[in-house]
Amino acid sequence: MAALKKITLALVAAALTLAALLIGRTVRSASRQPIVAPASLIDVDAPGAAATLAGALRFKTVSNQDPTQLDASQFHGLADYIEQRFPHVHAALRRETVNDYSLVYTWPGRSSGKPILLLAHLDVVPVDAATESQWTQPPFDGVIADGYVWGRGALDDKNSVLAILEAVERMLANGEQPARPVILAFGHDEEVSGERGAAAIAARLKEQGVEPALVLDEGGTILMGLVPGLSAPVASIGTAEKGYLSVELKAQGAGGHSSIPPARTAIGVLSDAVHRLEEHPVPSNLSASMGVGFEYLGPEMVFPLRVVFANLWLFAPLVERTLAASPASNAAIRTTTAPTIFQGGVKDNQLPTAARAVINFRILPGETVATTLDHVRRTIDDPSVGVEALSGGSDPSPTSDIDSPAFAYLARTIRATNPDALVTPFLVLGATDARHYTDLSRNVFRFSPTRTKADDLTRFHGINERIAVADYAAMIQFYVELLRGLDGMK
């Protein structure tokens, strides 16, 4: 009994020590949110600005993997429309055209310091003809109704193009000039890799010796009610984006009549390979993706969750299991595996002589195209399955410096224009034009000042793309504040 009592006391003491440690670390997890006064925002003619955006949405600037299939008249029409609607911009800024359709504007600053580079893209994804009848408003009519601007590009990404131009036009009309040079770079093929647009612009700027102090593109938004444990909006600043790889798998078969099948057909062999890849994904890595974000948001969460995120040394396995249970959060902590194409066979009673599958991987920072290919080969472990990387693969982007003056300035500007929002770094799961500019600057960030609710998530590249008129006006206010305060960025 005495020994049992000692064991019990030891366990109680250990539990109390652990509890004290957890609470102590929680209390010491100080907020990382910048403290700034709310900005005095400019008045915006919201209906007028919305009408200008709506006009831009009427141009069907749909990008195409084959540049010869692109509708030049739509891109040239949009460029002419922009010139007409923003006369001060075209009188004061130098405009260049890159590869026929991309637009670059240069605005001299009051000093010759390092410029800032604002990115957006002119192109949009197509609309599936089978879904057009499901749109509340026609996707290319640029309709304003029910407090929204409706149409393809309203969220991705003509809203950014037009909001940036509106901000510059407003400042020029007031006789304002930024403290340092500003470059606006609007690519025309972001939706099909950006090689002729953003990549060509970046190469030209590099040849000119341009070293931006800040590069800002789309990628993150202000998330409304989408982060568990937080009621406040969350402004997510993308500091990196995942890599991209599509792998082709092939298996061969003898063919013949289906009445005398072998033990494993080409389709069966390939099915096993795909199944193994799905059952054995690349291991998750919390620290490579969301760890820094938890440092920013953990101190702002309700108490039980605050304890968890202040003590990831203990709770990381639990957090990873929880995140892995949801497709959206699982994609943030690992290289994802997505079978997207499966082909094989031509007739129901004929054995296939070949089968083909394509698996798409979005690669987590810290991993590469090479390590992902190695994972595929080791996991399949079948010499009868051919494995080949398709063209267009890319490693994850470098992670930008969140301790830089550029990140601090961006965070302060977001907080000044959105006082209710919390700021956090995060990993962009898709690809943006920003990745083409990482050779120019360590300070490449991805954030668009739009407010995203749960029902907006399917509108990107989906049905009923739209932006609230009030939210679009707030975008213009953000860009004005960002450009006006550049003398405060070291």
Mean pLDDT of 88-112: 97
- SS3 call for 169: helix
123 among known catalytic residues: yes
Banded pLDDT at 349 (limits 50, 70, 90): very high
Dump pLDDT digits (tens) for 387-401: 999 998 999 999 999
**Which pLDDT value is given to residue 279?**
97
Q: What percent of the chain has pLDDT over 90?
A: 82
179-197: string of b/e by CB count within 10 Å (b at 16+)? Answer: bbbbbbbbbbbbbbbbebb
Q: Which two tokens stand for residue 275?
A: 């199944």
- Distance separating alpha carbons of residues 179 and 170, to the nearest angstrom: 16
Which one is catalytic: 157, 169, 189, 190?
Answer: 190
**Which pLDDT value is given to residue 316?**
84
Dump pLDDT digits (tens) for 53-65: 999 999 999 998 8
**Which pLDDT value is given to residue 22?**
63
Mean pLDDT of 81-92: 98
Dump pLDDT digits (tens) for 282-314: 999 988 777 788 889 989 988 888 888 888 878
- Distance separating alpha carbons of residues 431 and 198, to the nearest angstrom: 12
**Which pLDDT value is given to residue 13?**
66
**Which pLDDT value is given to residue 403?**
94
Question: Using an 8 Å Cβ cutoff, are 49 and 166 in contact?
Answer: yes
**Which pLDDT value is given to residue 11?**
61
Dump pLDDT digits (tens) for 118-133: 999 999 999 999 999 9
Mean pLDDT of 401-421: 97
Mean pLDDT of 368-394: 96
**Is the pLDDT higher at 182 or at 31?**
182
Q: Lowest-pLDDT range, 165-179, 252-266, 283-297?
A: 283-297
- On the question of pLDDT at 35 being above 80, the answer is yes
* Radius of gyration of the chain, Cα coordinates, nearest whole angstrom: 26
**Is the pLDDT higher at 5 or at 49?**
49
Mean pLDDT of 366-390: 97
Q: Which two tokens stand for residue 1?
A: 């009994």
**Which pLDDT value is given to residue 8?**
66
- On the question of pLDDT at 3 being above 80, the answer is no
- On the question of pLDDT at 464 being above 60, the answer is yes
Q: Which two tokens stand for residue 108?
A: 């001299």
Neighbours of 467 (CB within 10 A): 26
**Which pLDDT value is given to residue 17?**
66
374 among known catalytic residues: no
- SS3 call for 130: helix
* Total length of the chain: 490
Banded pLDDT at 14 (limits 50, 70, 90): low
- On the question of pLDDT at 18 being above 60, the answer is no
- Distance separating alpha carbons of residues 314 and 312, to the nearest angstrom: 5
Dump pLDDT digits (tens) for 475-488: 999 999 999 999 88
Sort 23 into a burial class: Cβ within 10 Å, 0-12 / 13-18 / 19+.
middle
- Distance separating alpha carbons of residues 191 and 456, to the nearest angstrom: 19
Dump pLDDT digits (tens) for 139-162: 999 999 999 999 999 999 999 999
Could you tell me the domains of the chain?
46-234+397-488 (3.40.630.10), 243-389 (3.30.70.360)
Q: What is the mean pLDDT of the chain?
A: 93
3-state DSSP helix/strand/coil percent for the chain, to nearest 5? Answer: 40, 20, 35
Q: CA-CA distances (angstroms) from residue 147 to 298, 460, 470?
A: 35, 18, 8
- On the question of pLDDT at 26 being above 70, the answer is no
**Which pLDDT value is given to residue 170?**
98
**Which pLDDT value is given to residue 299?**
92
Question: Using an 8 Å Cβ cutoff, are 216 and 119 in contact?
Answer: yes
